[in-house]
Amino acid sequence: MRSISEPEAAGVAVSSLDRRIAGLAALAVVIHLAEAALPSPLPGIKPGLANVVVLYALLRHGLQVALWVGLLRVLVGSLLLGTFLSPGFFLSLSGAVASLAVLALMHRLPGLSGPGLAVPAAMAHVMGQFLTAYVWFIPHAGLFHLLPAFLTAALLFGLAGGLAVNRLLDRGLAREGRA
């Protein structure tokens, strides 16, 4: 017999989609926290491993799950790090919104796999953050001198993340084929 979760006991219906979103979002949040503790040679440059989970969610379960996972990651991650509504939170949010928008537009294009989606999404993430930083926090043209370095990192990490998603999906399909 399946155990009844707390929300169910409280009379809230929990669908299998909810469980899937919660599981993937929890994974993304944990990766987000672990990454926040990593030192970086240039403040703000991060591998963005949590977004690997978002892309996996998109390719495996569709846009709706990916949007939930991507936004929950930012919200819950900021609550746990204590940065909710701080500048860092808004930078994080604008990056996530920009990359999710690019994913939403591009995931219907034929012939693209992980890297073809992850690289544009990572670069959109950086540009969304720079736009917010420029409009709101540092209205100085000098800010954009950092952009090429950040975009280079985005391209490399996006490529690596996209290839990782391809591996994950291939393995998942292989396992299902054997089962």
Partner 1 sequence: MTRRYGLTRGDRWVLSAALLALAAAWAALGGDEGGMALVTQEGRVVARLDLERPTRLTVDGPLGQTVLEVAEGRVRFLSSPCRGQLCVHAGWLSQGGAFVACLPNGVAVRIAARSERYDAINF
Site for partner 1, rule CB under 8 A: 86-87, 109-117, 119-120, 123, 136-142, 145, 147-148, 151-152, 155, 159, 162-163, 166-167
Based on CB atoms, which residue is closest to partner 1, 7 or 172?
172
Based on CB atoms, which residue is closest to partner 1, 4 or 141?
141
Least distance between partner 1 and beta carbon 102 (Å): 11
Least distance between partner 1 and beta carbon 14 (Å): 35
Based on CB atoms, which residue is closest to partner 1, 5 or 144?
144
Contacts by 54-58, CB closer than 8 A, 24 or more apart: 54/28, 54/99, 54/100, 54/103, 55/103, 55/114, 55/117, 55/118, 55/121, 55/161, 55/162, 55/165, 56/24, 56/165, 56/168, 56/169, 57/24, 58/103, 58/107, 58/117
Based on CB atoms, which residue is closest to partner 1, 29 or 132?
132
Least distance between partner 1 and beta carbon 113 (Å): 5
Report the half-sphere exposure of 135 (CA within 13 A, side-chain side): 9
Based on CB atoms, which residue is closest to partner 1, 19 or 167?
167
Least distance between partner 1 and beta carbon 56 (Å): 15
Least distance between partner 1 and beta carbon 126 (Å): 10
